[in-house]
Structure 1
């Protein structure tokens, strides 16, 4: 398989997981699938494959002592860009899965944060942090209110 085919396959591979978390978060199958770390294994293996195919003495030196110009040159190569993209896929899915499970655990609404995480991982993480904080701060009963209700 070519780098392009593996790249395209990885993009398709992640879609069912994101679809389940976004559109069917309460479904038992979603919970069963997302409790497993197995979906990450093929992506990690692909990342390692891309990484080992792009690392050489020059690129390893550039990554060991990162300078922006060297990193830009490194990612200008197709294999290196695929490596970076595989890294994004793994880490964004991992963070999206964490957001999903935090929502399940706390009851905080997560759909918007998971969607943002799919397209811009750090923005989705920030969205969840702010949503969780806002929910806890303004919409959760305080200890005093809980005591008087119970």
Structure 2
């Protein structure tokens, strides 16, 4: 199937996997930059980082999955099968786009939730960095920061 899809694209306009990787990384960084600007442009930040950029990454992800997953060996039944599946460079790229999109979605949620709960933005920024670099650890950090900020707000109200 991938061969059929690639044959229909003129050689001069085909993107290499490295080019797709680089462009998608830049696209994700635009989303993270929007989150850093979220105190000043909350609506646009939510749109850019919350659905426009992840949506574009999802389109590219789906194209890669449709084009290459059928040709890849391996699966999800064991760690060995997953290792074999991700030994395919196009599938590896699709997996990376999965991370970029979902980490950005988590970051967008952190921004919205932080605003909603009154968490000081300077406490949310390190959570963005951690979510960008080590997704679940950044999410966990945000949960801790949100809980601590909530306790502080309750204590100051008393």
- What's the TM-score bracket when you normalise by the shorter of the two chains? 0.7 to 0.9
> Within the alignment, does 1:62 sit opposite 2:69 as a pair?
no
Shift in Å, 1:17: 1.7
Distance 1:91 1:100 in 2: 14
Distance 2:71 2:18 in 1: 24
Contact 2:38 2:45 in 1 (8 A): no
Q: Which residue of 2 aligns with 1:4?
A: 18
> Within the alignment, does 1:124 sit opposite 2:138 as a pair?
yes
Distance 1:43 1:84 in 2: 11
Contact 2:38 2:46 in 1 (8 A): no
Matches within 5 A, 1:1-150: 1-22=15-36, 24-28=37-41, 31-36=42-47, 37-56=51-70, 59=73, 62-63=75-76, 66-108=77-119, 109-137=123-151, 139-142=152-155, 145=158
| Bigger mean CA offset, 34-43 vs 127-136 | 34-43
Distance 1:20 1:123 in 2: 21
The DSSP-based 3-state class of the residue aligned with 1:141 is: helix
TM-score (norm 1): 0.83
Question: Structure 1 residues 5 and 133 mapped into 2: Cα distance closer, same or farther (>3 Å)?
Answer: same
| Bigger mean CA offset, 87-96 vs 31-40 | 31-40
Distance 1:56 1:17 in 2: 31
Q: Which residue of 2 aligns with 1:148?
A: none
TM-score (norm 2): 0.79
Question: How many residues align structurally?
Answer: 138
